[in-house]
Structure 1
Amino acid sequence: MIDLSSHDPASKTLRVREFYLGRQPILDRNQALFGYELLFRNAPVGPAIIETELSATAAVIAHASQLGMEKTIGDALGFVNVDGDAILSDIFGFLPREKVVLEVTASLKTTPALLARMQELAGHGFRFALDDVRGDASSLAELLPLAEYVKMSMRDASLDALLKLAPRFKQESKKLIAEKVENRDEFKTCLDLGFDYFQGYYFAKPVIMSGKKLSPSQLAVLELMTLVTSDADNAEIERAIKRDVSLALNLLRLVNTPAVGARQRIDSLSQAVTILGRRQLQRWLQIMLYAEPSKRGQNMSPLLMLATTRGRLLELLANKLRPSQRHVADTAFTVGIMSLMDTLFGIPMAEILAQIPVSDEVADALMYRGSFFGDLLKLAECIERIEDMDGYIIPTLRDLAVSTDELVELEMAAFEWSDNVVRYAI
């Protein structure tokens, strides 16, 4: 059993909850979302040691799971780092075995008890990934048979090691995950080597293409956004929606989802526009920019998931910090959504802002990460890159007067909202 009791229960609860959470997308060969690696970090606040027989890893996973692991990963797989203490604990009652892959490092010191426990967990349906595999496969003889996935880093493993080991692991029917893939060339190299999955933020970096034109669907959405923000009447907005069949169908699908809460089925565009209202209609259009027409209703792009999660997290943070100013939360959502439009369009952000009128504060946040909204955006970006930006999160939270516990709950709410939008409204 997991024992979170202590001589000072209040103090123990506080320390167990002092962590923050990041999730990093794992994509398949078609760059569709496959899973997330969940990264838990103990916040450097207060006593550094949790005085239980469990490791800090197990304690924070237990708490995050109680908050709702399903909210965090949606329909994707969740890859969770576990150490020897966590494996030997009873933490796994908290985890949905069909949705979770347990990651152990290749350097994990094995014992007969540990291997027996891993075999027992595998018998119960848990899967394992072997992480941080570098150049020497001979040391993996005990762990490799238990692993379904093998992860190799583009930063830590040499190209020679990748060339040598990838074919061997494929021969043994292991699924290969390339980590820390940070640009398109690295992605192509890993594709050529036969990797099955890819982890890193190469997909979120803008590839600027001179003379690139927006697709007809994107132009239709931007035209609609202009109508909505310029206070055009509903009839004109309705006529514009009807010119794009895909937009019309998706709008009707949206207003009939539980999130909108219509009391009866809505079958006309005029009703849909009226029920949604201008604020929600603008938000939906911002999201629709990221949904490729050919992929709507199928495997969504990770850029769509990242943009909607960013937008919602910034909105929730702004609402918490300035609760009496509704427009501030709406602006924060717009900053989050627009922050990836240079990647989406392959156009510099300055050119995008010349086409889409925004306030000076929004422009400052998007171009220079300035102002209140820029601070929120920087925090979201640090969380996404938690491995590299770990040291920036706590000072930023302190400046914003947000606790780590509040951050985790807001993150999970943003994850859940983004998953629901992509699943039901696009």
Structure 2
Amino acid sequence: MFAFIARQPILDCQKDVFAYELLFRDGKGGCFPDATSEKVAAIAERFNPLGLDDMSAQKMSFINFRAETLISRFPTNLDPQRVVVELSESPDHGSGLIEACKHIKQLGYQIALDDPMMLSSQSAILPLLDIVKVDIGKIRADYVTRRLPRFADANVKLIAENVGTHDAFTQCRELGFDLFQGYFFAQPEARIARQLPASKMNLVDLMGESSAEDFDINRINQIIERDAALSYLLLRFINNPTINKRHEISSLKHALNYMGEVEIKKFIALLSLAHLGDEKPLEVIHMSLVRAKFFDLLAQQRGQRTDPPVGFLIGLFSLLDALLDQDMPGILKQLPLVDEVNNALLGKSSEFNHYLALVRAFESALWLNVIKQSKALDIDQKQLHSLYNQAIVWGNSVRSTMSSYFPTTRSL
């Protein structure tokens, strides 16, 4: 479906996604594969025609390039309005790269430097840079503070990399960083033992119905009819062309005739999650969507039962602690989920522990871990990549359906 690629979100100060960095398994250090590699032809044939939007959800794409690729065979068929060219090597090692960057800038591409330590004090590349990425785990805060004015004066935007906690995000924002890369947004801000508010009880009821073996459509209708926003969003979900290409659905009962109980259970779970996390960074919900579809596809591949859709529900609810700022055991005590889902979310299921380790490997481009889980699950690596790519496309589609909940692309 695609070349072997992972993506990592880059967020702005409001924790909205500005772009995704794309990491290539077949390229050294996650870079776009070498110009001499046979993989380049495969990417040009299979990946580019699909459009970067299939991986980057209509956001900007950061792609890391080696100097040799930029100098000799830069892929000019990439859209300069969608792609930021990221340098992975010091631009001061030879004039060839500087000249290549000048040409790339003339083509309309923005240029990012992966590490400010690559820059000498008189670097010729600085006037060509639009963005500089700073690994906050490797560079001291005092160094950043001293160097920030230099980049600000040059109108260069700064990305803080490896931002792993909310405290680190706050510190980097106060230092003057513009964008942030890392999974801080998928971590609870504060683990507080508290009850879910009464306003969320409709959602709790829906979550319970989504995991029940028995399907009580009248009960679900009663819950949804209490909230006009739930009714509206349900119909938007069900009429998404990715999900339902044949019939215009006008009600839950109407949908049941065409989709069946299992698919309806998935979408009432989606409804509950979308509203339960309405105060959190939207990328947390997007990650949950991708995980849900990926776990669902894995469960089918492994011959797991699908009613209730346990794999889907475990993936969808796997980030509840980040959405609700509570620990998972405390959350699950308040939710009427079946034991199989509860146990998996608490890490007590060997099967689903493999799924979680695998999705984290994809999210972080830990390819050796993908290989390890491929062997553990007895699923070919290429098949795993195909399933994950399907999950990304599905998650993007559902996200676009929820347009009122997700922001449009921002520009620098």
Structure 2 length normalisation: TM-score?
Answer: 0.84
SS of the residue 2:240 aligns to? coil
| 2:389 corresponding residue in structure 1 | 412
| 2:401 corresponding residue in structure 1 | 424
- Aligned runs of 1:61-76 on 2, under 5 Å? 62=44, 65-66=47-48, 68=50, 69-76=52-59
Return the offset for 1:168: 2.2
Distance 2:25 2:246 in 1: 43
- Aligned runs of 1:70-85 on 2, under 5 Å? 70-85=53-68
| 2:407 corresponding residue in structure 1 | none
Moved more, 208-217 or 163-172: 208-217
Moved more, 121-130 or 368-377: 368-377
Return the offset for 1:53: 5.7
Distance 1:125 1:28 in 2: 22
Whether 1:377 aligns to 2:359 is no
Q: Could you list the runs of 5+ residues in structure 2 that have no partner in the other structure?
A: 404-412
Q: Which amino acid aligns with 1:251?
A: L
Distance 2:327 2:121 in 1: 47
How many residue pairs get aligned? The number is 397
Query: What is the CA deviation profile of residues 180-208 of structure 1, one whole-angstrom value per residue up to 9, with x for unaligned ones?
Result: 00111110011111211100011111234
Return the offset for 1:329: 9.7
Distance 2:138 2:157 in 1: 19
Which residue among 234, 254, 260 is the counterpart of 2:237? 254
Query: What is the CA deviation profile of residues 395-414 of structure 1, one whole-angstrom value per residue up to 9, with x for unaligned ones?
Result: 22122233333233222211
Q: Which amino acid aligns with 2:383?
A: E
SS of the residue 1:368 aligns to? coil
Are the counterparts in 1 of residues 293 and 395 from structure 2 also a CA contact under 8 Å? Answer: yes
Which residue among 179, 183, 198 is the counterpart of 1:201? 183
Distance 2:391 2:378 in 1: 19
Distance 1:52 1:188 in 2: 38
Which residue among 132, 151, 154 is the counterpart of 1:169? 151
| 2:203 corresponding residue in structure 1 | 221
Return the offset for 1:320: 2.8
Distance 2:320 2:122 in 1: 43
Using a 3 Å threshold, how does the CA distance of structure 1 residues 366 and 167 change in structure 2: closer, same or farther?
same
Q: Which amino acid aligns with 1:87?
A: L
SS of the residue 1:128 aligns to? strand
Which residue among 260, 282, 290 is the counterpart of 2:265? 282
Return the offset for 1:99: 1.3
Query: What is the CA deviation profile of residues 299-353 of structure 1, one whole-angstrom value per residue up to 9, with x for unaligned ones?
Result: 971101111111112222332333xx55189322211111111111122211233
Return the offset for 1:151: 0.6
- Aligned runs of 1:15-94 on 2, under 5 Å? 20-42=4-26, 54=36, 62=44, 65-66=47-48, 68=50, 69-94=52-77
- Aligned runs of 1:111-150 on 2, under 5 Å? 111-134=94-117, 137-139=119-121, 141-150=123-132
Return the offset for 1:294: 9.9
SS of the residue 2:306 aligns to? helix
Return the offset for 1:278: 3.0
Are the counterparts in 1 of residues 262 and 307 from structure 2 also a CA contact under 8 Å? Answer: no
Using a 3 Å threshold, how does the CA distance of structure 1 residues 55 and 396 change in structure 2: closer, same or farther?
same
| 2:320 corresponding residue in structure 1 | 341
Whether 1:304 aligns to 2:285 is yes
Using a 3 Å threshold, how does the CA distance of structure 1 residues 227 and 18 change in structure 2: closer, same or farther?
closer
Using a 3 Å threshold, how does the CA distance of structure 1 residues 315 and 185 change in structure 2: closer, same or farther?
same
Which residue among 122, 133, 157 is the counterpart of 2:139? 157
Q: Could you list the runs of 5+ residues in structure 1 that have no partner in the other structure?
A: 1-16, 45-50
Which residue among 399, 404, 411 is the counterpart of 2:376? 399
SS of the residue 1:198 aligns to? strand
Q: Which amino acid aligns with 2:389?
A: M
Structure 1 length normalisation: TM-score?
Answer: 0.82
Q: Let me know the Cα RMSD of the aligned residues.
A: 3.3
Identical columns (%): 30
Return the offset for 1:379: 0.7
